[in-house]
Amino acid sequence: MKHVVALSGGKDSTATALRLAEIEPRDYIYICTPTGDEPEEMFEHWRKLGTLLGKPIQPVMFRTGLNGLIREQRSLPNWRQRWCTRILKIEPYAAWLMQNSPAVSYVGLRADEPLREGGDYANVPGIQMDFPLRRWGWDITHVLDYLQKRSVTIPKRTDCNRCFFQRLIEWYELWRDNPAAYADAEQQEAFTGHTFRSPGRDTWPAALSGLRAEFEKGRVPKETRRDPLQCRVCRL
């Protein structure tokens, strides 16, 4: 029986992995499912976690990654067609579990989010699902206090550089801090004929080329950036 910890790299999965190693020590296998579009800080976080856990985190990745998949599909993921999470995270992890069955899959779902589901992995033959944070009764406060105690800092971005969920301030920060990634996302919009942002979402241009023109004029979004520890992440 293998024991597998799914590590998105966000606050909950990070706390789950570290605490499991402390109080329920086993020969765990640590798995992450990168899309290939994460900021470098995210990959560095996975490397640091591997050091803390005493074992490197194994990446399970779809063959082309997000950017290759956009070229293949000739489309961009959006809130109606969120195929990125399914193809890049859920399906690769399910396939890995199938090849490594029987196993227990540990997922970081908290006690204060009872409506969240842990994926379809319980349907994989020989796979048992375990949610340690719920067993321990841990809510968001427990998770944040524990990470502070362990001196572990979660990166500002734990998801992709480009995402249809992003707020204006995050597109602005990408343009400012990672112009190559922004330019690549802009080219993807031109290639597919679609935009990451939904038209009419706000008074700003939907297309990244239009946003860039506004940013170059010195216009800066007024909205406050969300707390990175509280933000939505694409998890396993």
Ranges of each domain in the chain: 2-149
The token pair that represents 222 in the structure block: 């007024």
The structure's pTM equals 0.89
Q: What is the pLDDT along the chain (236 residues), one digit of tens a residue?
A: 999 999 999 999 999 999 999 999 999 999 999 999 999 999 999 999 999 999 999 999 998 999 999 999 999 999 888 899 999 999 999 999 999 999 999 999 999 998 887 766 878 999 999 999 999 999 999 999 999 999 999 999 899 999 999 999 999 999 999 999 999 999 999 999 999 999 988 999 999 999 999 999 999 998 755 554 444 446 55
For residue 224, the model assigns a pLDDT of 59
Asked, as a colleague might, if the bond just before 179 is cis with ω within 30 of 0, I would say no
For residue 81, the model assigns a pLDDT of 85
Nearest Cα neighbor of 208 from 228, 233, 190 is 190
Could you write out the DSSP letters of every residue in the chain?
Answer: -EEEEE--SSHHHHHHHHHHHHHS----EEEE---S-S-HHHHHHHHHHHHHHTSPPEE---TTHHHHHHHHHTS---SS--HHHIIIIIHHHHHHHHHT-SEEEE----TT-TT----SGGGSTTEEEE-HHHHHT--HHHHHHHHHHTT----S--S-SS-TT--HHHHHHHHHH-HHHHHHHHHHHHHHT--SSPTTSSSS-SSHHHHHHHHHTT----SPPPPTTTS-----
For residue 27, the model assigns a pLDDT of 97
**What would the CATH number be for the domain defined by 2-149?**
3.40.50.620
